[in-house]
Amino acid sequence: MVSEKTIATIKATVPLLQTGGEALTQHFYKRMFSHNPEVLTLFNPAHQATGHQQKALAGAICAYAANIDNLEALGSAVELIAQKHVSLRIKPEHYPIVGENLLASIKEVLGDVATPEVLDAWGQAYDFLADILIKREATIYSEQLNAEGGWEDFKKFKVIKKEKESDVITSFYFKPEDGGSVPTFKPGQYITVRVPTANGSTTMRNYSLSNKPGSDYFRISVKREDGSVEGTPSGYVSNLLHNSIDVGDVVELAPPCGEFFIDPAEKSERPLVLLAAGVGITPILSMLLAVTEANPDRKTYFIHANLHELRHAFGKTIDELAKATPNLKVHYCYSDPVPDGVERILSKEISTGFVDGPLLESVVGGFDADYYFCGPSPFMTEIIRELHNRRVPESQIHFEFFGPREELEAIKQAAQ
């Protein structure tokens, strides 16, 4: 356990971290990549370029320092970090590299403030957290290896099908190259794709599984990121998949991970509300497919928001599912004008605008339900704000955010 003296010293550094945490983490990453370039492949360069990774680490350090005397408050964050680390194949030998560079960065950035007492306290605190994560990650690695069809690290999978779902989303179906079985997963989880880079190295990305568990293949549905949004670079891996990976090609995959999932067979008197915006449909679709198969009697609402019809993925699949599932109610919402050559007929199932309180009330009715949702930050902010305003218990609110985790705090604050 961390001593009372260490706790007091760490908490005393919180104001410094709140004002200078981002500068510290920027220095940390530059230092680590310079001194230990072997860890470069573990990080997303796009998040480095935009500063998202630096902000994420700064937020995590501040949260840890502020809650070091109440680590139960960080329970969900610890699980998220452990799952993410396993997805990227972080191992115990990587922790000393991070620790050494973090302590050195604290000393180099904070200067005289980083007294031997402060450095010793942060060294103890880091080792304590590292031990928690290493033990949890060891359990996850063991579960992955011992699962039926499971494996360790990365395994070669062949692309057996490539299917265009919208003007920016394409699905990729994978089976093991060695002909082995595909392990099951929890609906909502993701896998990691590792591909080569132009400089002879590799890079990794996480993609949600969009098919239901129990299939004899994995399916991911990838949005092509073209960098059209200011400050956002083009996605290297998404463009590689869309433009260069075809049926018959082989890619490397790591086993399924993730703490955002649903138990499809769970019995509940409350309705289930599944909400997605854009490519946020990928984990939500896996949930929908699993729930309607395992628990078709549960009242389920599915709402999918898109810019317009050409961006709308899986519409045919969901329409057919709704026809076969009486307890499933589907609604589509479009925020942009109708594209040329497309007809939009507004109805109880199709609307123009955004997913907000009035829409939820008109589609779902009451707000006492279990909510699972995923999408970009404006969508997430609106949903969280509305559910909080309606006093929906936190235990009934579940979501996955595509992007650096530190933005979640901004979303929660905006929702209050």
Question: Is residue 403 marked as binding?
Answer: yes
Catalogue the long-range contacts made by 149-154 (C-beta closer than 8 Å, 24 or more residues apart): 149/176, 149/180, 149/181, 149/182, 149/183, 149/184, 150/183, 150/255, 151/255, 153/89, 153/254, 154/89, 154/192, 154/194, 154/252, 154/253, 154/254
Question: Is residue 401 marked as binding?
Answer: yes
The backbone torsions φ and ψ at residue 366, rounded to the nearest 5 degrees and listed phi first, read: -75, 165
Question: Is residue 291 marked as binding?
Answer: no
Question: Is residue 92 marked as binding?
Answer: no
Question: Is residue 206 marked as binding?
Answer: yes
What 3-state DSSP class applies to 20?
helix
CA-nearest of 240, 193, 195, 239 to 218 is 193
Question: Is residue 67 marked as binding?
Answer: no
Question: Is residue 207 marked as binding?
Answer: yes
Question: Is residue 150 marked as binding?
Answer: no
What 3-state DSSP class applies to 283?
helix
Question: Is residue 176 marked as binding?
Answer: no
Both tokens of residue 329?
């109610």
DSSP string, 42-89: GS-HHHHHHTHHHHHHHHHHHHHHHTTT-GGGGHHHHHHHHHHHHHTT
Question: Is residue 33 marked as binding?
Answer: no
Question: Is residue 184 marked as binding?
Answer: no
Question: Is residue 142 marked as binding?
Answer: no
Q: Which of 22, 126, 137, 141 is catalytic?
A: 137
DSSP 202: E
Question: Is residue 208 marked as binding?
Answer: yes
Residue 332 annotated to the active site? no
CA–CA distances in Å: residue 153 to residues 189, 241, 325: 17, 21, 39
Residue 95 annotated to the active site? yes
DSSP 183: P
Q: Which of 22, 64, 95, 386 is catalytic?
A: 95
Question: Is residue 258 marked as binding?
Answer: no
Query: Residues annotated in the binding site for heme b, as ranges?
Result: 85
Could you tell me which residues are annotated as the binding site for NADP(+)?
278-283
Positions marked catalytic = 95, 137
Task: Please state the residue numbers annotated as binding site for FAD.
Answer: 190, 205-208, 401-404
Q: Which residues are annotated binding-site positions?
A: 85, 190, 205-208, 278-283, 401-404
